Amino acid sequence: MSTRFVGDTAALLGRSLRHISRSPDTIISTAIMPVAFLLLFVYVFGGAIRAGSDRYVNYLLPGILVITVASGVSYTAYRLFLDLKGGIFERFQSMPIARSSALWAHVLTSLVANLVSLVVVVLVALVMGFRTGAGVLDWLAVAGIMMLFTLALTWLAVIPGLTARSVDGASAFSYPLILLPFVSSAFVPTESMPGPVRAFAENQPVTSIVNTIRELFAEQRVGADSWIALGWCAGLLVVAYGLATAVHHRRIR
């Protein structure tokens, strides 16, 4: 990794973060839906859902964190689409900067923005009664999993951001990602689901990610779910990164 690439990426990252700081509604709107789900399920449906002896907000929060990231990465596709259509990439290519620095700046901006949104959601959950005895290492492990998951979904978001023909098309890819936690262990234990639905729920990435975070918050010994979660995140990251960079090289010559 060259010094030029690092410097160019840092400069463009600063540009993107300044844009976000001037319109904080982006992060606020990203956090609104997950917070709304948190309030809805805890205070409306929580009394009717049995998820063990623990508080339902403790059971629910890991799934809400996944939804936060899934909704947040749609802004990466949105911003990429606007930059591409606005000719920003062409202007950058006429300047003596590293070819992929603009793309990496968008990806790192997504990491920062989603981290802020995740912190907001956790703070709201604490106000609502979320409690954990997790130590510093447990919290760092949760943060690491969420950042890896965010990075994987962000590179996935790059693809529609570079290929979509409309703003709606650029951000619509996130809708299935937001719905995926509903067919997982995020809201209810998978044991309560009918056979085929349960089989799908137990073998999709969200369930392993949610279960791992839940075990870390509960100070339980992390089991096989952690390796499955890391495998899903790493595999998705490799595939998404490969496809995104291929599309980028084809679109930005």
Asked if residues 218 and 235 have their Cβ atoms less than 8 Å apart, the reply is: no
**236 against 223, higher pLDDT:** 236
**122 against 91, higher pLDDT:** 122
Average pLDDT of span 65-72 = 90
Whole-angstrom CA distances from 76 to 66, 133, 137 are 16, 34, 30
Average model confidence (pLDDT) across the chain? 84
Asked if residues 68 and 34 have their Cβ atoms less than 8 Å apart, the reply is: yes
Domain that holds residue 104: 3-251
Average pLDDT of span 53-67 = 88
Q: What is the pLDDT of residues 115-150, one digit of tens each?
A: 988 999 999 999 999 999 888 999 999 999 999 999
Q: What is the pLDDT of residues 45-55, one digit of tens each?
A: 776 676 655 78
Structure tokens at 120: 């907001």
pTM over cut 0.85? yes
Contact partners, residue 145, CB within 8 Å, separation at least 6: 209, 212, 213, 229, 230, 233
Structure tokens at 47: 């009394």
**Residue 76's pLDDT band (cuts 50, 70, 90):** confident
- How many structural domains comprise the chain? 1
145 vs 225: CA distance, rounded Å: 12
Residue 220 per-residue DSSP state: P
Asked if residues 70 and 233 have their Cβ atoms less than 8 Å apart, the reply is: no
